[in-house]
A and B are shown apart, each in its own frame.
Chain A
């Protein structure tokens, strides 16, 4: 079954190639995904790692400094809260009380430096 073997080998090579791409891609972009409470538990372990944190934007905690385009707010989940600092364009769907995922690093002073905000659109937002 020499012919079969040729195809099996080439198929296997493709499989390996895709697997390799996936592996490298994974290394470069895999991020932990924590809720605020889980982050509180992990504080020291993930210091200086890029992580994503999920929670709700605490109403009343949002401060926008238009001078430096800085946004400060607090993300809460359960009992824990996390102060966040973000610089950049604020997505439209960001709102106090809404769900949000922030991505960035936890500083040693306990403030989360976010480089990306991913507020959840309210459930009836996009049909698909």
Chain B
């Protein structure tokens, strides 16, 4: 089985090299027959990598412990679901998964973009397959998932119990797919440069893929944060760890890219900037992978130094130098025509949004690699802590969200003061009222006093604008409110999907603000029957039980919780001791409401009593709620319309009728 898997990868590498060459030949146009051959070879590569993945999955499911990877990440008592997810649990498997997803994406891109210029498509495909070849080389040399052991062990080492969590089944594949997806827009951008097809053709092809990767990466990050919150047991969800930052930076750049792509479509601007962003998104994804797998930055998550580091660094250097050089070379042909006119216009807001997003990504980048820089410059490693990232990014993110609210009430070329005031006065006033109310209620933390009203402003502006459109729709089409609501989404999915995403961001911001500034923490050592009080909760420690499952010893403490004097339930924080793993796993007990989370960690115990760390985290649920709405909004934007205006010519897309009219 291992041999089949390995051999399939080897054939895939041969096929992909062949594919790269033939696609380039096909692009040049002199020998059209090669075109068909190139396409078939791409499909073949996808098929071969799929066979390889199937082989590894089969090995995982059937406990083929001769393969080192299977032994390292599964065991006989592991359930089927987790055995399957072991495919992406380890370094080598996750790279194989990446290669597979990339090959599938390449196939889909090839098959669905038939109407594109042959040159554009061929160059793009060759770049995608070249990237695929890179990963295949890694898989065949330093990252072989089919590495065999000299003797077959009786049982595998098992999956780390911390990974036995539904979120950990979803998080890696979603993130990996997001990273892999950035290859496609990148390939189209470079293809456009190589083929001099610098109109909007590449943009239309790239847009959907950038959207998909952005959505996957965004959801993946949120799942990761949720997992960290419920599983790692320190009460937080984001620590600005280098591995976390590696997933955030490309997402920020992708967000900027999506917005600036709209600019190019509607206003014919930012063409060069667009290309640069697409290249940056892909480069950051590769860089993030480098960071995670090379051990160069000390991180709680990082793999220890493996041989992968130099490979990724080299690939990254190639990508960056090649693409930026190419952009520079073709600059005159690429750059857009129209300049922004007014400082207060939707154009400027999009520009500002881009600057803030990219600025944030840049400063996160600096903060993340700072130890490397400082060591190179001064011989001493200096690191920056969480507070650096929070301090810098808090205002930036809030400003970005604020812009999302303002944007809906400002026209494209120029802001119409009348419309601006009309649409935003209500929300603005109510936001100020909210600030006053919060202050009156005793809240003095000024970041929260700013953040909450801003989020409220954004939410109310978005909702008010949407309601206004529904009302117009209803009147003009003479349908009822429900139908008007449905119509509004159906007719302009981008706009209302985006509106929902912006709402989601505001909700997440509310959750982050609440849990960052108003968290209360208390540690207590309790004997059986003793109670502790935190905020308006009283927790009474009842007992502690030890029991054994097939592979794990579980220690479970029970506490009964009362809220304002009324009994509301029991919480059972636990600690697991898996037989194969020395470290315990903390299972936190959480009681969630919209208002706050009661979060209990079992820290220690002995004959006398147990030690608990209890936190009250306000508004955390809003983050997960926002995450779900984010997914919904993203899907709506992504959903294709039945009659989609594709532009394989170079005309700008006409402005939608529902836009705020320019005056």
Contacts and interface: CB of A to CB of B under 8 A. Distances in A.
A61 B246 CA distance: 35
A34 B374 CA distance: 12
B396 A18 contact: yes
A95 B388 CA distance: 29
Contacts of B611: 66, 69, 89
A32 B382 contact: yes
Interface residues of B, number: 70
A52 B384 contact: no
A7 B340 CA distance: 9
Interface of B: 72-73, 88-91, 94, 160, 162-163, 171-172, 175, 224, 232-234, 243, 246-247, 292, 298, 300-304, 339-341, 343, 348, 351-352, 355-356, 359-360, 363, 366-367, 371, 380-392, 395-396, 523, 525, 582-586, 601, 603-604, 606, 611, 613
Contact of A18 (B162, B298, B359): B359
Nearest to A19: B363
A124 B73 contact: yes
A123 to B, nearest CB: 4
What size tier do the contact residues of chain A reach? 35 or more
B387 A28 contact: yes
A127 to B, nearest CB: 5
Interface in A22-37: 22, 24-26, 28-34
Contact of B604 (A4, A7, A28, A66): A66
A108 to B, nearest CB: 22
A124 B392 contact: no
A6 B343 contact: yes
Nearest to A7: B340
B103 to A, nearest CB: 20
A40 interface: no
Nearest to B289: A128
B363 A22 contact: yes
Contact of B301 (A26, A54, A66, A126): A126
Nearest to A9: B343
A34 B348 CA distance: 45
A76 to B, nearest CB: 17
Given A14-B355, A31-B382, A32-B381, A127 B388 contact: no
Interface in A58-82: 64, 66, 69
Contacts of A38: 380
A33 B604 contact: no
Contact of B586 (A29, A31, A54, A92): A92
B394 to A, nearest CB: 9
Nearest to B303: A123
A25 B255 CA distance: 25
Contacts of A14: 352, 355-356, 359
B463 to A, nearest CB: 29
B382 A30 contact: yes
Sorted nearest first, the 4 A-B pairs with minimum C-beta distance are: A25-B391, A29-B385, A33-B381, A25-B388
29 contacts: A3-B341, A14-B355, A18-B363, A18-B392, A21-B391, A25-B388, A25-B390, A25-B391, A26-B384, A29-B385, A30-B382, A31-B383, A33-B371, A33-B383, A69-B604, A88-B523, A89-B613, A91-B234, A92-B232, A92-B585, A95-B582, A124-B72, A124-B89, A124-B90, A125-B162, A126-B301, A127-B172, A128-B175, A128-B301
B609 to A, nearest CB: 9
B300 to A, nearest CB: 6
A113 interface: no
Contacts of B585: 92
A118 B234 CA distance: 12
Contacts of A54: 298
A119 B302 CA distance: 12
Given A30-B382, A89-B601, A125 B352 contact: no
B359 A15 contact: yes
B366 to A, nearest CB: 7
A89 B355 CA distance: 41
B158 to A, nearest CB: 11
Nearest to B380: A32
A44 interface: no
A92 B387 contact: no
A69 B526 CA distance: 13
A29 B303 CA distance: 25
B404 to A, nearest CB: 17
A33 B162 contact: no
A52 B606 CA distance: 31
Contact of B94 (A24, A121, A127): A127
A57 to B, nearest CB: 12
A28 B387 CA distance: 8
Contacts of B72: 124
A128 B224 contact: yes
A22 to B, nearest CB: 5
Nearest to B576: A92
Contacts of A32: 380-383
Contacts of B367: 22
Given A18-B363, A18-B396, A89-B523, A29 B90 contact: no
A101 interface: yes
Given A25-B387, A34-B381, A126-B162, 12 more contacts: A10-B343, A14-B352, A14-B359, A21-B392, A22-B363, A22-B366, A25-B389, A26-B388, A66-B604, A95-B582, A126-B163, A128-B224
